[in-house]
Structure 1
Amino acid sequence: MNARDRDGEGRARNARPRDGLGRPLPYGTPGVERQPEGVVRAPGETVREAQRLLDAGMPFHAHEVFEDAWKSGPAEAAPLWRALAQLAVGLTHAARGNAVGGARLLRRGAAALAGPAGAGTGAVTVPGPPYGMDLPGLVRWARELAVRVEAGAAVDAAAEAPHLTGGPGPA
């Protein structure tokens, strides 16, 4: 029987390598470097690092960056980061071929970002676009992708990656 993988503090951690969509690979297989957990970043750094990972077709890893922000940042910003993590996980599931889960998470994240009025202002209360992000554009992107995923569209995570701050996506 194999002992469970543990981190330096004795907590259970899966040390198996993972692919770009976060799927576990067999031990000894080269994988994508995992995101370190518990990293505290400034909001702009969070947005930049998540965008880099999204552009690279690694939305699972981008979700981990958003999760760190929601757990380590101010409470009033947590709903924003949680909604963005849901979008990243929705894209992950869609790219893995899980249409039901992908569409559900994309819609859940979009609803949280849209807020009660549906205008893309519900997740956080900071002046202007939160941390420079285009929330209405992200809401549109997520809702449109959810429809296409449910219709059976194949999803390439890098090609479908949203551009968090609006404007053109990756080249």
Structure 2
Amino acid sequence: MPADDPAAAVTAHDLEVLSAQLGRTPRGVVGIAARCACGRPLVVRTAPRLENGTPFPTTFYLTHPGAVAAASTLEANGVMKEMTDRLAEDDGLAAAYRRAHEHYLAQRAALGHVEEIDGISAGGMPTRVKCLHVLVGHSLAAGPGVNPLGDEALARVRGVWRPDRCTC
């Protein structure tokens, strides 16, 4: 979702929903990067440096409990290792994943430069998969075709959770 998209704006209601979703006060939220079919946040866009000065590389933070649970289930089932292994074997996939990494870095750079995390995206990109929550969040925020492994993770959870069907 483009930063100037009205749906990206964060409202007081969004912050209340995010607090309930996360079980804590949300930090560094600068926009809603993707919304549920009902309008609640799915993914937040987060500042690269939190209010307390901590560098924060996770620009697209998955918040929706159903999506978080679905990504956690994939992780528990060993999908991250399988995906990482495929990156070493499939040059096309590795190139597409590197482009996803570069997209992620560009999206974060638009929010500001933080030296401590320069060149570091999130989720293990560009050489491994270490967090499907990040990859799913990136795919939901950027749309299909930007992060191939995030898109794949979304396809794998479709029978359990879908972004186009409200489960809030």
TM-score, L = length of structure 2:
0.26
Q: More relative contact order in 1 or in 2 (CA 8 Å, sep 6+)?
A: 2
TM-score, L = length of structure 1:
0.25
More strand per residue: 1 or 2?
Answer: 2
